[in-house]
Amino acid sequence: MKNGFFICMLFLFCFVTQQGFTQISWGIKAGINTSFFKVNDPDRFFFFDSEGTIPGLATGVYALIGRKESPIAMRLELLYSAKGGKTRSFLEPSAFTVSAVYLQYLSLPVLFNYHSGPLYLEFGPELNYLITGRAKFLNSSNKEDVTDLVSNRSELAVAMGMRYELPLFQLGFRYLHGLGKVQELVLTDFNGAPRNAGILKNRTVQFYVSYQVSR
């Protein structure tokens, strides 16, 4: 958590220092996440894999830091961001167990922006801190709290995307590539020996619209 926070703040500090006197505008943002898990199952003992995507909300506020005459700027956001995915594990010769995992994060993207006209390109780190985690298992309609079972409450991701500026609104697309482990599953085989059954990492595609309140 601390390392990710310092990376984001250093990124922001270096930009503000380089820009000198800056102008700051801010606004609100709302979007839709389509998220899934990247699964690494090196032993293939339980054949643990990603099964599908989960939709979620991404909403919050943003600040754009930069000078109007400059083609570069920095976009800082504070978001509620829902991520997760579906997983599948092969436990018996003819039985698959499928579960859906819903993760709610507080997210802090710090993104370098470059624009030519109304088109902006953005790239930078995003720090995520898990608020709650819930899971719904096969043949169950209830969501169980799994917050304490998540290996890492904090996660650092790389964000990249673009947005288009309209007179009143901005339309954007972003891809979020999680670097940290959301969960590392270590199970035992039939002899009691530990086997690595999978490492989960977040992958998210985000579509959003934002509105600039101050200009």
Q: What would the pLDDT profile of 63-114 be if each residue is shown by its tens digit?
A: 998 877 778 888 999 999 999 888 776 654 444 566 788 999 999 999 999 9
Let me know if residue 17 belongs to a domain: no
Q: Which residue has the higher pLDDT, 3 or 74?
A: 74
- How high is the pLDDT of residue 120? 94
Find out whether 162 and 120 touch, Cβ atoms under 8 Å.
yes
Mean pLDDT, rounded, for 48-52: 68
Q: What would the pLDDT profile of 7-22 be if each residue is shown by its tens digit?
A: 565 655 565 555 554 6
Q: What range does the domain containing 206 cover?
A: 2-10+36-212
Q: How far apart are CA 194 and CA 100, in angstroms?
A: 25
- How high is the pLDDT of residue 105? 96
Find out whether 148 and 130 touch, Cβ atoms under 8 Å.
no
8: left (phi over 0), alpha (psi -120 to 50) or beta: alpha
Find out whether 133 and 99 touch, Cβ atoms under 8 Å.
no
Find out whether 172 and 161 touch, Cβ atoms under 8 Å.
yes
Let me know if residue 18 belongs to a domain: no
- How high is the pLDDT of residue 27? 94
- How high is the pLDDT of residue 197? 56
- How high is the pLDDT of residue 61? 96
CB contact set of 11 (below 8 Å; sequence gap of 6+)? 110, 112, 124, 125
Let me know if residue 29 belongs to a domain: no
Whole-structure pTM value: 0.81
Classified as helix, coil or strand, 20 is coil
Let me know if residue 191 belongs to a domain: yes
Q: How far apart are CA 149 and CA 125, in angstroms?
A: 25
Q: Residue 8: in which H helix or E strand, if any?
A: helix 2-19
Burial environment of residue 56 by CB neighbours within 10 A (0 to 12, 13 to 18, 19 or more): buried
Let me know if residue 15 belongs to a domain: no
What tokens appear for 59 in the block? 């909403």
- How high is the pLDDT of residue 94? 44
What tokens appear for 124 in the block? 């930078």
Q: Which stretches does DSSP call E strand in 41-182?
A: 49-52, 54-66, 72-92, 95-116, 119-137, 144-145, 154-165, 169-178
Q: What would the pLDDT profile of 121-168 be if each residue is shown by its tens digit?
A: 999 999 999 999 988 876 667 788 888 878 788 889 999 999 999 988
Mean of the per-residue pLDDT values of the chain:
80
